[in-house]
Amino acid sequence: MATKIAIIQGHPDASTRHFGHALADEYAKGAQDAGHDVKRIDVATLDFPFLRTKEDFENATPPDSIRQAQDVVKWADHLVIIYPLWLGSMPAILKAFLEQVLRPGFAFEYRPSGGMAKKLLAGRSARIVITMGMPALVYRWVFGAHDLKHLKRNTLWFCGIGPVKSTIIGSVEGLTERQRMGWLDELRNLGERGR
């Protein structure tokens, strides 16, 4: 059965291609070869402001670029979010994008009585792919994979997205060509399976 997949490329540099772009390409190729439907969002190419107030977050009209991204997220069965780790977390532009897209009324709904919000994006799964300079084991065991945990548990889960799987690629600058090809093969295989 075909899965509708949205690939969100979170690298902030649109001026050149990076390893994360190649990973996204291979995931998309595997998915399309297996008959899945794929749409892509390249966050670095979008024009949108940072949200600065609670009022804007809750009530401002999203710009066209964000409404179009919301349409893609709503269409998708599965989200693939790919980004490099910068200063221990996702790049600021990706965080700003998620704040714009995952707003009340689209991603969740406050309950009049308080308590947990209603999850409006339930029924979708996700995969998070993070590249980084440090070894993946150091990120997981020394730093507790805090950014990954936050994105999985506090952001995506809050909106109803789950299960959320992850792929962490460490020591990116030191990868051999064979290791890079291995990771590209891995992403293509994940795309084929729609996972």
The per-residue pLDDT for 114 is 76
Residue pLDDT, tens place only, 61-97: 999 999 999 999 999 999 999 999 999 999 999 999 9
Q: DSSP states of 22-62 as a string?
A: HHHHHHHHHHHHTT-EEEEEEGGG---PPP-SHHHHHHSPP
Helices 177-193 and 19-33 meet at what angle, rounded to 10? 40
CB 84 within 8 A of CB 132: yes
Task: Tell me the residue type at 62.
Answer: P
Question: What is the pTM (predicted TM-score) of this model?
Answer: 0.96
Q: How far is CA 7 from the centre of its chain?
A: 7
For 33, the domain range is: 4-193
CB 7 within 8 A of CB 38: yes
Please name the residue that has the structure tokens 């936050």.
150
> Number of structural domains, the chain?
1
The domain that contains 139 carries what CATH number? Answer: 3.40.50.360
Residue pLDDT, tens place only, 152-171: 999 999 999 999 999 999 99
* DSSP summary character for residue 133: S
Identify the segments of the chain with pLDDT beneath 70: none
Q: How far is CA 5 from the centre of its chain?
A: 11
